[in-house]
Structure 1
Amino acid sequence: MALRWFQRLKQGLAKTSSRLTDGVQGIFTGRRRLDEEALEDLEDLLITADLGPATAAKLTAELARTRFEKEVSGEEVREAFAASITDILAPTAKPLEAGNDPTKRPHVVLVVGVNGSGKTTTIGKLAHQLRGQGKSVMLCAGDTFRAAAIEQLRIWGERVGAPVVARDSGADAAGLAFDAYKQAREAGTDVLLIDTAGRLHNKKDLMDELSKIVRVLRKLDETTPHDIVMVLDATVGQNALQQVQVFRELVSITGLVVTKLDGTAKAGVLIALAETFGLPVHAVGVGETAEDLRPFKAEDYARGLMGLE
Structure 2
Amino acid sequence: MGLFNPFKKSEEQPAPPAEEQPSGFFSRLKQGLVKTSRVLNTDIRDLFKQEGRLVDDEFLTELYAILVRTDMGVGPAGKIRDQVKTDFRGRVVHLSEVLTTVKTELVALMQQPETPIQFAESGPTVVMVVGVNGSGKTTSIAKLASYLKSQGKSVVLGAGDTFRAAAVEQLSIWADRLGVDIVKAEQGSDPASVAFKAVDFALQNNKDVVILDTAGRLQTQTNLMNELDKIRRVAGKKIEAAPHEVLLVLDATAGQNGISQAKGFSEAAQCTGIILTKLDGTAKGGVVVPIRQTFNLPVKYIGVGETPEDFALFNAEQFGDALFADAF
Distance 2:57 2:220 in 1: 47
Distance 1:25 1:10 in 2: 19
> Equivalent of 2:242, from 224, 237, 251?
224
CA 1:54–1:297 in 2, change beyond 3 Å: closer, same or farther? same
How far 1:303 moved relative to its partner? 2.6
User: What is the aligned-residue RMSD (CA, Å)?
Assistant: 1.8
Deviations 1:11-69 (A, max 9, x none): 11111111221210111232112112111111111111111101101111122222222
Deviations 1:227-255 (A, max 9, x none): 00111111111100011011122111101
Aligned to 2:40: 20
> Equivalent of 2:80, from 59, 77, 93?
59
Aligned to 1:69: 90
Q: With structure 2 as the length reference, what TM-score do the two structures score?
A: 0.89
Distance 1:303 1:64 in 2: 23
Distance 2:159 2:287 in 1: 29
CA 1:2–1:65 in 2, change beyond 3 Å: closer, same or farther? farther
How far 1:92 moved relative to its partner? 5.2
1:1-309 residue pairs with structure 2 within 5 A?
4-29=24-49, 30-91=51-112, 93-98=114-119, 101=120, 103-200=121-218, 203-306=221-324, 307-308=326-327
Whether the 8 Å CA contact 1:259–1:284 is kept in 2: the answer is: yes
Distance 1:274 1:68 in 2: 28
Aligned residues: 306
Distance 1:201 1:186 in 2: 34
How far 1:205 moved relative to its partner? 2.1
Distance 1:2 1:68 in 2: 41
Name the aligned partner's letter for residue 160 of structure 2: G
Distance 1:157 1:175 in 2: 20
Deviations 1:130-178 (A, max 9, x none): 1111111000001112111111111111111111000122110011101
How far 1:70 moved relative to its partner? 2.0
Unpaired segments ≥5 residues, structure 2 = 1-20
Name the aligned partner's letter for residue 314 of structure 2: F
Moved more, 2-11 or 131-140: 2-11
Deviations 1:249-280 (A, max 9, x none): 21111011111001011111111211111411
Name the aligned partner's letter for residue 302 of structure 2: V
Distance 2:77 2:146 in 1: 37
Moved more, 117-126 or 218-227: 218-227
Deviations 1:89-120 (A, max 9, x none): 2215423344xx5x332101000111111111
Moved more, 295-304 or 175-184: 295-304
Distance 1:104 1:123 in 2: 22
Whether the 8 Å CA contact 2:138–2:171 is kept in 1: the answer is: yes
Moved more, 198-207 or 279-288: 198-207
Moved more, 270-279 or 152-161: 270-279
How far 1:3 moved relative to its partner? 7.1
Distance 2:293 2:48 in 1: 27
Whether the 8 Å CA contact 1:198–1:206 is kept in 2: the answer is: no
Aligned to 2:14: none
